[in-house]
Chain A
């Protein structure tokens, strides 16, 4: 039993954080928002050069061969920065899914992603639209009983506006004749289930980062903003709002890390843990996002302050990769279906 991150895992997250602190500031986000472009090529190149898209691609395909636990703290930092580019879904969902498909075209795409030469987006029957489809070279569509590969040139995309300007959602239309069925039947469903869990896990990890960013911005504002002759942060009413957010973060982060460590079980326990992680992290992010607006007062309701950017990312992630009702049902299934005695916290399904 060891519930700690390694020095290497912590360091990767720190390096990511430093890069994003430099290249993904509020001003950077506004510049991209105003331009309407899908990504900032300089920032994207820096992330690719760090090797992040290759993280979860096996070494045999030119990747780094890392796992969910390695990428979770990185995803948290991407959330903290509200990174517009779809790095987390590319590295955490699309690339390992392509690498696991037993089809040469799929593995070739995984290799190209690892090399920083291609991007992919994943459509999934758990959600109506495909995020990041416009920057993808290949689309992977997980449908009941089949996983399809579609060359981006063969599809028609219909933009679906999101409250989060960086959550670029698309309806995808295609002619069935262009699709490659890379998996079918139980194998397709197994890989689709894992893709959903990864999507939910990394959305949760981003939720933790977003929540912390909302709290940090609010704490900084509460120290600087003076009313009645003192910083508003000296008032207990303000302190207690932010402390309640921090408590929620502290008790969501270990759930997210545990979900990352257990995701490979793919059993009733790991699915419930991933769902708990998604619910807890986004609940923390929801509270922190709303509290940030309140602590910033009228400034918080203005376009000029950055807090709404983070709040909108929270709103976008809350329903992504399984909505709240879906994840509550999965936790409920575990609670009703298996023993709950103390000592079951790391339970694994035995055949």
Chain B
């Protein structure tokens, strides 16, 4: 146990800080769930990639820096400290890519990872279906083999970024006779392929952050299957492990928000109840950071992420809601305002988005089932 950065880690932090100071746009970019904002964020991904900062944990061959998870945490701390733009490419870079590193062929990695890193190809996740949300194993969308292609048919929903993204990674039933977790495969497809129809879904904030995807005889080459045929469930659960466990929500995101909350309370004043909420938010953000540093150290030492990934997801999503709710309380009667000044401070947007946290990446009710069954050994219901 040594809770101090090495000189090399400090130097790395300084390097990141200097680069971000020179490159982070002064103006906040428009939301990446608008056409204009999406392009602005794609352009930012290219700038990041130009400095080789878009996927720092990836091997250098694919555009990364081959950094370990401690340096990833340092990078993220500096990124959020600098107030840099949100990552429009995160579904690909943080979720699909780690899975591709583990299950992809050499050809797939060479074909898909470099343009993912550069923002030329931005990815959406296509797993959920109208009748398969929390019960993901109920997916019906089918992939039927036709020579060296799959023919995809079905209806995907709640696909974040799909309105403007280029590619999607979807879960399909390749064995028509199969049920539940068996007979599924993870297949990559282009969102502008013939037979794909993307229908935006207006979110709680009025923007089209996610979409429905209708697939009608969409052809995808067999070599765009990630992992073995019928192994889709295992491959998806590896992705879900990264998603819940570590990379989807870096601790710095919440530490930056907590620091802003403290400043807000300082500026506007807070009563005892609000002070207590601020204190709890800061402590929880700190606890999340310490836990992820511990997990990162364990993974570097050869450990694995198990069901405790579900604990992470419950913890960060609930701390996020409480943090933004405290901010609205402190803003008082002005909290509801949505004019340009208020929108720019982001507390209401942040609050609404925080309400999605306990739902996406596996609803917290499902996470608590997983914790109870896999960590505590309680029987399935």
| Residues in A neighbouring B381, C-beta threshold 8 A | 234-236, 239
Question: Are A255 and B9 in contact (CB-based, < 8 A)?
Answer: no
Contact segment of A130-138, A145-153, A194-202, A327-335:
A327-335
Question: Are A215 and B376 in contact (CB-based, < 8 A)?
Answer: yes
Kindly identify which residue among A219, A262, A280, A348 contacts B378, using a CB–CB cutoff of 8 Å: A219
Q: Is residue A105 contacting chain B, with contact meaning CB distance below 8 A?
A: no
Contact segment of A81-89, A120-128, A172-180, A339-347:
A339-347
Question: Are A341 and B256 in contact (CB-based, < 8 A)?
Answer: yes
Q: Is residue A304 contacting chain B, with contact meaning CB distance below 8 A?
A: no
Complex Cα spacing A216 to B376, Å: 7
Q: For chain A, give the interface size range.
A: 35 or more
Taking the closest CB of chain A, its distance from the CB of B321, in whole angstroms, is 14
Complex Cα spacing A299 to B3, Å: 44
Question: Are B3 and A261 in contact (CB-based, < 8 A)?
Answer: yes
- Given known contacts A239-B368, A246-B371, A255-B290, A340 and B297 CB-to-CB distance under 8 angstroms: no
Q: Is residue A276 contacting chain B, with contact meaning CB distance below 8 A?
A: yes
Q: Which residue of B lies closest to A343 (CB)?
A: B77
Taking the closest CB of chain A, its distance from the CB of B80, in whole angstroms, is 5
| Residues in A neighbouring B352, C-beta threshold 8 A | none
Complex Cα spacing A47 to B276, Å: 41
| Residues in A neighbouring B284, C-beta threshold 8 A | 251
Complex Cα spacing A223 to B378, Å: 6
Taking the closest CB of chain B, its distance from the CB of A27, in whole angstroms, is 24
Q: Is residue A3 contacting chain B, with contact meaning CB distance below 8 A?
A: yes
Question: Are A234 and B1 in contact (CB-based, < 8 A)?
Answer: no
| Residues in A neighbouring B262, C-beta threshold 8 A | 335-336, 340
| Residues in A neighbouring B77, C-beta threshold 8 A | 341-343
Question: Are A340 and B259 in contact (CB-based, < 8 A)?
Answer: yes
Per-residue 0/1 for B69-108: is the Cβ within 8 Å of any A Cβ (1 yes, 0 no)? Answer: 0100010111011000000000000000000000000000
Q: Is residue A191 contacting chain B, with contact meaning CB distance below 8 A?
A: no
Taking the closest CB of chain A, its distance from the CB of B84, in whole angstroms, is 12
Q: Which residue of B lies closest to A215 (CB)?
A: B376
Taking the closest CB of chain B, its distance from the CB of A54, in whole angstroms, is 21
Q: Chain A interface secondary structure, helix, strand, loop or mixed?
A: helix
| Residues in A neighbouring B255, C-beta threshold 8 A | 340-342, 344-345
Question: Are A250 and B258 in contact (CB-based, < 8 A)?
Answer: no
Taking the closest CB of chain B, its distance from the CB of A283, in whole angstroms, is 10
| Residues in B neighbouring A5, C-beta threshold 8 A | 1
Per-residue 0/1 for B339-381: is the Cβ within 8 Å of any A Cβ (1 yes, 0 no)? Answer: 0000000000000000000000000010111011101111111
- Given known contacts A3-B3, A255-B287, A328 and B279 CB-to-CB distance under 8 angstroms: yes
Complex Cα spacing A133 to B7, Å: 47
Chain A, 292-309, CB within 8 A of any chain B CB: none
Q: Is residue B231 contacting chain A, with contact meaning CB distance below 8 A?
A: no
Per-residue 0/1 for A230-255: is the Cβ within 8 Å of any B Cβ (1 yes, 0 no)? Answer: 11011110111011101100111011
Q: Is residue A60 contacting chain B, with contact meaning CB distance below 8 A?
A: no
Q: For chain B, give the interface size range.
A: 35 or more
Complex Cα spacing A236 to B380, Å: 9
| Residues in A neighbouring B294, C-beta threshold 8 A | 3-4, 254, 257
Q: Is residue A222 contacting chain B, with contact meaning CB distance below 8 A?
A: yes
Chain A, 1-39, CB within 8 A of any chain B CB: 1-6, 9
Question: Are B81 and A262 in contact (CB-based, < 8 A)?
Answer: no
Chain B, 198-214, CB within 8 A of any chain A CB: none
- Given known contacts A2-B1, A4-B1, A246 and B375 CB-to-CB distance under 8 angstroms: yes
Question: Are B293 and A3 in contact (CB-based, < 8 A)?
Answer: yes
Question: Are B4 and A251 in contact (CB-based, < 8 A)?
Answer: no
Q: Is residue B298 contacting chain A, with contact meaning CB distance below 8 A?
A: yes
Q: Is residue B2 contacting chain A, with contact meaning CB distance below 8 A?
A: yes
Contact segment of B113-121, B308-316, B330-338:
B308-316
Q: Which residues of A contact B (CB under 8 A)?
A: 1-6, 9, 69, 215-216, 219, 222-223, 230-231, 233-236, 238-240, 242-244, 246-247, 250-252, 254-255, 257-258, 260-262, 276, 279-280, 328, 331-332, 335-336, 340-346, 348
27 residue pairs of the A-B complex, CB under 8 angstroms, read A1-B4, A2-B297, A3-B3, A3-B298, A4-B298, A216-B376, A234-B378, A236-B369, A236-B381, A239-B372, A242-B378, A243-B314, A244-B368, A246-B371, A247-B315, A251-B288, A255-B287, A257-B1, A260-B1, A262-B3, A276-B286, A332-B279, A342-B80, A342-B251, A342-B256, A345-B286, A345-B289
